[in-house]
Structure 1
Amino acid sequence: MPEPTTAAPTAGACDERFARLRELLTGYLDSGEELGAAIAVTVDGEPVVDIWGGWADTERTTPWQRDTITNVWSCTKTVTALAALVLVERGLLDVDAPVSRYWPEFAAAGKERVLVRHLLSHTSGVAAWNPPMTVPDMYDAPAAAARLAAQEPWWEPGTASGYHLINYGHLVGELIRRIDGRSLGQFVAEEIAGPLGADFHIGLPDSEFDRVSNVVPPPQVPLDPAIVAAAPLLLRAFAGPAGLAEECTTPEWRRAEIGGANGHGNARALARIQSVVACGGEVDGVRLLSPRTIDLIFDTQSSGPDLVLGAPLRFGIGYGLPSPAAVHIPDRRVCFWGGWGGSLIAVDTERRATISYVMNKMGTGLLGNERTYAYANAAFAALG
């Protein structure tokens, strides 16, 4: 257990039904297991929990504030997926079409039968760059995407998932750029975050840097041989780029548009954006999707051991779905995903609710850690 430390007090509003969330956040901050964090829950598009607390820096000199933002890692993928679904809604993107219809170069090296749904569900066979790249190589998104277009798939597309760890946003983002003309970051800013009033950025302006709480890398733990054995592509996918935890505090990382990993925002912003999915496609007069398009999210594309992560996962189009590995996600019409270190965004369409958690002190675990599970379980229990 970490040494107890004096935490900055929690702030924000919390409906009494969700009081357990504030208790948990306060407890983890007081124990030092959290450094700084925020939790948000919406129901029918309205915030019922919007709390935060702790410190934005390891020196514990700057309190985590209402407008503090941080790198949310793979929670970014849910926003990237939503951007693609907006194009589906507008009739500009067909999930059953080959990717090469919109991005002709992608048909190279045997990928002519890779469908748009395969990119969105981690079943395309293009799980990472081959050969591996450095982190700075990723900052030129079109060039990085071109390298992915030229390579062979690692398995038969559509037959299994292999988590697209970092390159998910390069693949989906290039598809969006080819159709719309705008970069992924521009599209999200102008078509999603802006209309919804959500403080979320894929490609952070320099003017917002002073609000960022840098993440604290998780402790290094040796790879479990059993996991390596169950995930034949794990080492290959994780081979590059390396050094993400070290690079993610640099100005270059923040400015880049890495739609699989470098979204900057807070729990309130993630909950606000995904409340569109929770509420049938429209929130506060902003309609992005129809119920028919939302149904695509819950169309199972793969179910079973993931070739990269090794765990039994289930993917719909753009989001994870309840599965044996997702012990914190109830088996109902819920879609979700988490970020490296423990962050979470979950959407319960039956309860018309979203649950979001972001933090700066990263933990270990595949789909979260003790804190993630505790917050999620408490929130789902309160929703009933």
Structure 2
Amino acid sequence: MRLRPVAAALAATAALTLGGGLMTATPASADPYDDPHLGFAPAATVLEDSTPRRAGLDPKTIADAVAAVHAAEEAPAGGHPLFAGAVGLMGHEGKVVERDASGWALRWADPTTELPRDQWEPVRTDTVFDLASVSKLFTSIAVVQLVQEGAVSLDAPVATYLPEFAANGKQDVTVRQLLTHTSGFVSWLPLWSAYPDKAARIKAVMDQPLDNPPGTTYLYSDLNLITLGVMVERLRGAPLDVVVHDRITAPLGMDDTGYNPTDPGRTAATEYQASPPRGMVRGEVHDENAWSLGGVAGHAGVFSTADDLAVMAQALLNGGAYEGHRILTRQSVTSLITNFNGRFPDDAHGLGFELDQRWYMDALAGPRTAGHTGYTGTSVVIDFASRSFAILLTNRVHPSRDWGSVNEPRRQWAHGLAAAMPLRAQVGRTAWYAGGRNAEASTLTTTAVAAPTRGALLEFDLFLDTETTDPLYLERSTDGGTTWMPVSFQIRDRGVTSTHDGVIAGSGVRRWVHVRADVPEGAAQLRWRHVTDATSLGRGVAVDGIRVTARGSGAVLLDAERRPATLTTVGWEPLGAKP
């Protein structure tokens, strides 16, 4: 992969000597998380090495994410680590702000036996990983290239291009349905064990009937992408690995990316497999079906490095181009990150790319956040709203697929980058923030407010980006905080008003909105209570400009901006103002 030299940039931000003392240059100011980009990055953007501070990011949250990955490589007493080794890479606004390699590319001889210590091989930043299902992104891009050339129509039946695919009632399945996993296909078939050779295995996919009518169900299926890989080969007149090389990786300079790596010693080992009897798998695709197809398949088989994937991510953020080489039009990239699965709200999907999936994207998740995971322990998250990406490559199946999930480290890696982006107060010097930690209840409580006979009006600005199970409650108490009742409120957002019965969660729009609520007559405390569960996080919740005025007279009853001592905080932290 290619990174722009940054000697000049580093020199510009180096420490300066003044009067015999040391003065550090002021770091850059990153675009706030709450001011999302709507378009692509400039097509000329080329990745440069930097640091979080130089990019205007909070280095602590990124360091916390690095520490979390390292901790996952340590075995608890009587147990085993989540994975042997990892490479993590974060990019923001064209800057690589973190690149970390840790652990071991090879550590075990089999699931019960460690190799002698002197035979352990460390992970390096250029270690090549089996991407598993992240490979589906390359197949999807190859399909979309055919679409933009006019050789394929998304809404045409797949059988238009692969007549044999029409077998057993599949004549109406479209290309788009394969890309969005709404074809009706079963998830998986044991191609490697049930069929004798590659031709028979491909025929089995072509002959497989549907489990559901096309377009009626979302069901993630390897068969969708296997079929698309065959379609690409048929239309291009070349093997899929050649197509991906010639039309994607070579133009982007992704020299370490491809199928069937020629230098197995650079790869991270995956699983010890007894069935099929492959032993310790290294330098060959882990997925048995892809292996049985010669290592080249539409659903799995690609190997890559974190730096190569960073180039692909930046090319997409740039609207399909990198260093003057365009692999997709801007319109095609838009189609990759447009949700075509509105009927299945928890399974947002562009063309091959998963969208807005908090279970691994965490606080980077949003309607314009695209990515994928791989069974071997890999994940790519590309956030177009912040022009950022978080890549985590692990060999979590080394030496056994049964040792656990890496979803928590995936979330922590994405969260570290999202939380590093600034979130700024909107009114005055201070706002209040909560939601940066799992399994926590945070309260922000006012002193008692005496509303007159006609009642009062509560107003404040709200930023909300949480998972749907991490609610924010607005409540009032008339007995000094012993009991609390919900307070209904209205949100006004760019001319649209919505009403909520004292609770809200979700969002993902990454902007501040204005909130109004009626306060009944009498003395009462008000509080904002935010509760996070034990898993995923969003960017969190912030409130600002809290103000209560009397109905009719407009007299100010509480102004937390001018008098912050009227607030009591538990778990809420102050946010600084915009620079």
Question: Structure 2 counterpart of 1:351, which letter?
Answer: S
- SS state of the match for residue 351, structure 2? coil
Q: Residues 50 and 95 of structure 2 are in contact (CA less than 8 Å); yes or no, is this contact kept in structure 1?
A: no
Cα deviation 1:38-72 (Å, max 9, x = unaligned): 01223355533322122111145211123211212
1:178 aligns with 2:178: no
Cα deviation 1:282-320 (Å, max 9, x = unaligned): 1111111122112212332335779xxxxx422222111
- Report the Cα distance in structure 2 between the residues aligned to 1:196 and 1:282, rounded to whole angstroms: 8
Q: Percentage identity across aligned positions?
A: 25
| 1:101 corresponding residue in structure 2 | 160
- Specify which of 209, 220, 227 is matched with residue 163 of structure 1: 220
- CA displacement at 1:192 relative to structure 2: 1.0
- Report the Cα distance in structure 1 between the residues aligned to 2:367 and 2:344, rounded to whole angstroms: 20
| 1:7 corresponding residue in structure 2 | none
| 1:234 corresponding residue in structure 2 | none
- 1:216-295 alignment to 2 at 5 Å? 216=271, 248-249=281-282, 251=284, 253=291, 256-295=295-334
* CA distance 1:250–1:272, shift in 2 (3 Å): closer
- SS state of the match for residue 167, structure 1? helix
* CA distance 1:243–1:352, shift in 2 (3 Å): farther
1:77 aligns with 2:136: yes
Cα deviation 1:251-301 (Å, max 9, x = unaligned): 583951033123211222222223222221111111111221122123323
| 1:230 corresponding residue in structure 2 | none
- Report the Cα distance in structure 2 between the residues aligned to 1:267 and 1:138, rounded to whole angstroms: 36
1:374 aligns with 2:431: no
Question: Structure 2 counterpart of 1:381, which letter?
Answer: A
- Report the Cα distance in structure 1 between the residues aligned to 2:237 and 2:69, rounded to whole angstroms: 42
- CA displacement at 1:85 relative to structure 2: 1.6
* CA distance 1:139–1:356, shift in 2 (3 Å): farther
Q: Residues 45 and 283 of structure 1 are in contact (CA less than 8 Å); yes or no, is this contact kept in structure 2?
A: no
| 1:24 corresponding residue in structure 2 | 68
- Report the Cα distance in structure 1 between the residues aligned to 2:250 and 2:381, rounded to whole angstroms: 21
Question: Structure 1 counterpart of 2:240, which letter?
Answer: L
| 2:394 corresponding residue in structure 1 | 359
* CA distance 1:39–1:87, shift in 2 (3 Å): same
Cα deviation 1:56-112 (Å, max 9, x = unaligned): 111452111232112121111122212212222222222121111111111221111
Q: Residues 45 and 276 of structure 1 are in contact (CA less than 8 Å); yes or no, is this contact kept in structure 2?
A: no
Q: Residues 162 and 231 of structure 2 are in contact (CA less than 8 Å); yes or no, is this contact kept in structure 1?
A: yes
- SS state of the match for residue 316, structure 2? helix
* CA distance 1:139–1:274, shift in 2 (3 Å): farther
Q: Residues 89 and 307 of structure 2 are in contact (CA less than 8 Å); yes or no, is this contact kept in structure 1?
A: yes
Q: Residues 185 and 224 of structure 2 are in contact (CA less than 8 Å); yes or no, is this contact kept in structure 1?
A: no
- SS state of the match for residue 167, structure 2? helix
* CA distance 1:295–1:327, shift in 2 (3 Å): closer
Q: Residues 202 and 256 of structure 1 are in contact (CA less than 8 Å); yes or no, is this contact kept in structure 2?
A: no
Question: Structure 1 counterpart of 2:351, which letter?
Answer: I
Could you say which structure has the larger radius of gyration? 2
Question: Structure 2 counterpart of 1:110, which letter?
Answer: G
Q: Residues 313 and 325 of structure 1 are in contact (CA less than 8 Å); yes or no, is this contact kept in structure 2?
A: no
* CA distance 1:199–1:14, shift in 2 (3 Å): farther
- Report the Cα distance in structure 2 between the residues aligned to 1:185 and 1:257, rounded to whole angstroms: 6
* CA distance 1:64–1:332, shift in 2 (3 Å): same
Q: Residues 82 and 404 of structure 2 are in contact (CA less than 8 Å); yes or no, is this contact kept in structure 1?
A: no
Aligned residues: 339
- Report the Cα distance in structure 2 between the residues aligned to 1:244 and 1:70, rounded to whole angstroms: 21
More strand by share: 2
Q: Residues 87 and 124 of structure 2 are in contact (CA less than 8 Å); yes or no, is this contact kept in structure 1?
A: no
Question: Structure 2 counterpart of 1:170, which letter?
Answer: I
* CA distance 1:67–1:158, shift in 2 (3 Å): same
- Report the Cα distance in structure 2 between the residues aligned to 1:139 and 1:169, rounded to whole angstroms: 19
- CA displacement at 1:119 relative to structure 2: 1.0
Cα deviation 1:217-259 (Å, max 9, x = unaligned): 79xxxxxxxxxxxxxxxxxxxxxxx869978547583951033
| 1:39 corresponding residue in structure 2 | 88
| 1:115 corresponding residue in structure 2 | 174
Question: Structure 2 counterpart of 1:86, which letter?
Answer: Q
Q: Residues 125 and 155 of structure 1 are in contact (CA less than 8 Å); yes or no, is this contact kept in structure 2?
A: yes
| 1:338 corresponding residue in structure 2 | 373
- CA displacement at 1:200 relative to structure 2: 4.9
| 1:68 corresponding residue in structure 2 | 127
* CA distance 1:355–1:148, shift in 2 (3 Å): same
* CA distance 1:369–1:100, shift in 2 (3 Å): same
Which 10-residue stretch deviates more, 90-99 or 171-180?
90-99
| 2:267 corresponding residue in structure 1 | 212
- SS state of the match for residue 302, structure 1? coil
Question: Structure 1 counterpart of 2:341, which letter?
Answer: S
* CA distance 1:327–1:70, shift in 2 (3 Å): closer
| 2:97 corresponding residue in structure 1 | 48
Q: Residues 180 and 349 of structure 2 are in contact (CA less than 8 Å); yes or no, is this contact kept in structure 1?
A: yes
| 1:221 corresponding residue in structure 2 | none
| 1:145 corresponding residue in structure 2 | 202
Question: Structure 2 counterpart of 1:49, which letter?
Answer: E
More helix by share: 1
- Specify which of 130, 148, 154 is matched with residue 211 of structure 2: 154
* CA distance 1:382–1:82, shift in 2 (3 Å): farther
- CA displacement at 1:144 relative to structure 2: 2.7
Q: Residues 135 and 247 of structure 1 are in contact (CA less than 8 Å); yes or no, is this contact kept in structure 2?
A: no
- Report the Cα distance in structure 1 between the residues aligned to 2:304 and 2:195, rounded to whole angstroms: 24
TM-score (normalised: structure 2): 0.53
- Report the Cα distance in structure 2 between the residues aligned to 1:245 and 1:162, rounded to whole angstroms: 30
- Structure 2 gap segments, 5+ residues each: 1-48, 76-80, 108-114, 286-290, 398-402, 423-579
- Report the Cα distance in structure 1 between the residues aligned to 2:386 and 2:336, rounded to whole angstroms: 16
- SS state of the match for residue 76, structure 1? helix
- Report the Cα distance in structure 1 between the residues aligned to 2:179 and 2:204, rounded to whole angstroms: 18
- Report the Cα distance in structure 2 between the residues aligned to 1:77 and 1:316, rounded to whole angstroms: 12
Which 10-residue stretch deviates more, 56-65 or 189-198?
56-65
